[in-house]
C-alpha cells in the first residue's frame, strides 16, 4: 500500500505559498532520509513549556494514589498551543505563588524538544507529555467521528492535510504557475501537513477563490505526526519518494504569540533542576 493510501486510510503557518495541484508524486527523484533529516523538518514548529526566569523547566509531581508507595517521578509538559501553556502557567502562579513569580512560558522547536526527550528518556524520574492544542485535537476528533472512527482513536499529535475527494489521495502543492495560471510540473512541489486546523482551512478558502473547480472537491483529513515521520524514514535502504516534498506548517497563532513575547522565546535546558511545581 502506498504512503498516500495509508495516510488517507488512517484518517487517524507560517503558511504554504503555492497553488493546489493534483499531480503524480512518484515521478520525483527519491532521496534516502535519515531520522535526523526527518526531524529537522520540525525545526520550524514551536513548542511551549513552563520554566523559571533562567530557562530551567518546572515539572509537576505525579498524582499519588491512596496507600501507594512514595513516587518522586516528575512530569515534564510540552504544549503545541500557547493557550494551553498559559493555562498551565496560571495554575503554577495560583498554587505555587513563590515559584510562579519567576515562572514563564518558554518556546523551543519541536526538533529541540525531541532531542531533550531522547537525552532524558532513560531517566525513570521523568515522564514527558507533548500536548496538542485543545481546538486541534477536537477538530481531529470531529473529522474521525464523521468517518465512523471512535474518538479514542484520535492521534495524540494530529496533523492536517488536503485530500482530493475523487482520487482519495493527498493534494500536492505546486509552488508556481505559468502565465496561463496552469501549474508548471517542473517547479518544486510540496505536500504540507498543518499543525493547526484553522490554518489549513484559511489556506483552502484562499485557494477556492483562485481554483474553485479544484478546491470544491478537496477536503481536510487528519493523520498522526508519528505516522508521517515514520513514512519519511529510510526503510531497507529504499528511499521513499514522498519524503522530499513533505513540509510541516507551524501554527500561525503560535508564531504570533512568540513574536509578541519574544523575550521569552529561549530554549529550555536539557533537564529540569528547579523545585517541581505541583499540578
Q: Using one digit for the tens of pLDDT, what is the confidence trace for 207-249?
A: 888 888 878 888 999 999 988 887 787 666 565 667 788 899 9
Indicate whether 220 and 90 sit together in one domain. no
Give the sign of the dihedral formed by CA 142, CA 221, CA 246, CA 34: positive
The better pLDDT of the pair 12, 35 is held by: 35
Paired with 191 in beta bridges are 246
**Structural domain contains residue 185:** yes
Structural domain containing residue 196? 3-41+135-258
| pTM metric for this prediction | 0.78
Number of domains, the chain: 2
Are 100 and 141 found together in one domain? no
Q: Do 143 and 36 lie in a common domain?
A: yes
**List of residues 6+ apart from 187 with CB closer than 8 A:** 174, 175, 176
Least Cα distance to 78 among 30, 129, 8 occurs for 129
Q: Does residue 117 belong to any structural domain of this protein?
A: yes
96 and 148 inside one domain:
no
- Give per-residue pLDDT as tens, 51-70: 988 888 888 776 666 666 76
| Whether the predicted pLDDT of 128 surpasses 60 | yes
pLDDT of 179 reads 46
- Cα separation, 89 vs 21, in Å, equals 43
Task: Give residue for cell 477538530.
Answer: 139
* Arithmetic mean of pLDDT, 168-177: 71
| Other residues' Cβ atoms within 10 Å of the Cβ of residue 146 | 9
- Together in a domain, 166 and 139: yes
Amino acid at each position: 500500500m502506498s504512503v498516500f493510501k495509508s495516510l488517507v486510510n488512517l484518517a487517524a503557518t507560517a503558511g504554504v505559498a503555492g497553488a493546489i495541484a493534483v499531480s503524480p508524486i512518484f515521478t520525483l527523484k527519491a532521496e534516502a532520509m535519515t531520522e535526523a533529516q526527518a526531524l529537522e523538518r520540525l525545526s520550524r514548529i514551536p513548542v511551549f513549556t513552563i520554566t523559571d526566569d533562567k530557562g530551567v523547566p518546572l515539572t509537576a509531581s505525579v498524582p499519588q494514589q491512596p496507600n501507594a508507595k512514595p513516587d518522586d517521578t516528575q512530569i515534564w509538559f510540552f504544549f503545541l498551543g500557547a493557550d494551553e501553556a498559559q493555562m498551565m502557567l496560571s495554575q503554577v502562579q495560583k498554587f505555587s505563588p513563590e515559584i510562579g513569580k519567576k515562572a514563564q512560558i518558554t518556546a523551543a522547536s519541536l526538533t529541540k524538544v525531541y532531542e531533550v526527550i531522547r537525552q532524558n528518556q532513560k531517566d525513570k524520574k521523568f515522564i514527558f507529555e507533548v500536548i496538542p492544542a485543545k481546538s486541534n485535537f477536537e477538530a481531529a476528533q470531529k473529522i474521525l467521528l464523521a468517518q465512523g472512527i471512535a474518538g479514542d482513536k484520535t492521534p495524540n499529535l494530529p496533523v492536517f492535510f488536503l485530500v482530493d475527494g475523487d482520487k482519495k489521495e493527498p493534494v500536492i502543492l505546486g509552488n508556481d504557475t505559468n502565465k496561463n495560471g496552469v501549474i508548471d510540473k517542473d517547479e518544486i512541489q510540496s505536500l504540507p501537513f498543518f499543525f493547526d486546523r484553522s490554518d489549513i482551512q484559511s489556506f483552502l478558502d484562499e485557494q477556492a477563490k483562485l481554483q474553485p473547480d479544484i478546491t470544491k472537491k478537496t477536503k481536510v483529513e487528519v493523520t498522526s505526526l508519528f505516522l508521517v515521520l515514520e513514512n519519511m524514514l529510510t526503510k531497507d535502504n529504499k528511499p521513499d519518494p514522498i519524503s522530499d516534498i513533505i513540509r510541516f506548517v507551524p501554527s500561525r497563532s503560535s508564531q504570533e504569540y512568540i513574536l509578541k513575547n519574544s523575550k521569552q522565546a529561549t530554549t529550555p535546558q536539557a533537564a529540569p533542576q528547579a523545585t517541581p511545581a505541583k499540578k
